[in-house]
Amino acid sequence: MRAKILYVTDLTYPANGRRYGDEDVYLTGRLREHFDLALCHPLDAASLMDAFDAVVVRNSGPAIHYQSAYGEFRAAAIDRGTRVFTQLTGKADMIGKQYLVDLSEAGYPVIPTTDCAPDSLPEATTYVVKPKLGSDSIGLRKVSRDELTTLSLDGMLAQPLIDFRYEVSFYFVDHDLQYALYAPDPAKRWELERYEPTDADRAFAQRFVDWNAIDHGIQRVDACRTATGELLLVELEDLNPFLSLELTDDTIRTRFVQRMTRSLTALLAL
C-alpha cells in the first residue's frame, strides 16, 4: 500500500520573479509516481494532516501572512508526532531569524547581525533593519547609522548593507548538495543562472546545513560574494525555499526528485 502524502502549497501566491504553481505542479506530478498525494492550502494543513502519513511543506508563501495558522499547524504536528518534510527540528528560518544573530555572535561567516547593540556592527553608510519573523523583504527598512542608534530593535535585527558582487544559492536535500544557482546582477535577485561551486563554496554551504538539526528535508543556503571575495550567509531557508527548478536541466531535476523521494521514504520509515 502506498503512503499518503499531504502536499502543502499556495499555487496562486504572487511571488515576485517566481512561479510557485509551476514548480509544485512539476514536483507533485513526479512524486505521484511513488506516493498517493493530495494538495492543500497552508491554511488547511492543520485540519487535514491527520488523514495522511506525512506532510510536505513546499511553496506555501511567507508564513508571516498566516502566522497564527502556521503556529497552529506547527504546534499540532509536533504534539502529534506528525512526519513533516522538511522536519520541524530546524533552527533557521522556520522559527525566525534569531539564528542570524546567534551565528554572527558565534563567529560564523554571516553578514554581521545584531538585535540589541548597533555599536557592535561595522561602520557602514546604510544599514538594513528587518523583522525576525519577516521574509521576502517584508518590513525591511534602510536607515543611516544615526537613525539606527535611535531605533528600538525589539523583534527586529540590524545588519550593515553589504557591498556584494552577487548572490548565490545552494540547494540541499537532507545534507546533500544538489545544485547551485546565482544572480549575476545584484539588483535582479531572481534572474538566476547555473553556478558551479568550488570546493570552498561547497564547504561553506555544508557548514550551515550540518549546523542545522534536519535529517530529512529541503534547505537553501543563500549567500553573497563580497567585494573582497568571501562568502557571507544571507539566510538559511529551511521552511519552504523556492527551488528555481525550471532553471536547471532534466538531469538535475530528475536527480533532485529521486533524492527527495528517497528522503521522504526514509522519513516515513521512522
pLDDT at 215: 97
pLDDT at 16: 82
Under 8 Å between Cβ of 143 and 118: no
What global pTM score does this model have? 0.95
Q: How do residues 160-205 score in pLDDT, each as one tens digit?
A: 998 899 999 999 999 999 999 999 999 898 999 999 999 999 999 9
**How many helices (H) and strands (E) would you count in the chain?**
7, 12
Gap between the Cα atoms of 197 and 130, Å rounded: 29
Gap between the Cα atoms of 42 and 37, Å rounded: 15
Give the closest residue to 243 by CA, choosing from 4, 26, 63, 36: 26
Please name the helix (run of DSSP H) or strand (run of DSSP E) that holds residue 47, with its range, or none.
Answer: helix 45-48
pLDDT at 233: 98
pLDDT score of 137 more than 80:
no
Under 8 Å between Cβ of 157 and 116: no
**Residue 1 pLDDT grade (very low, low, confident, very high; cuts 50, 70, 90):** confident
pLDDT at 90: 97
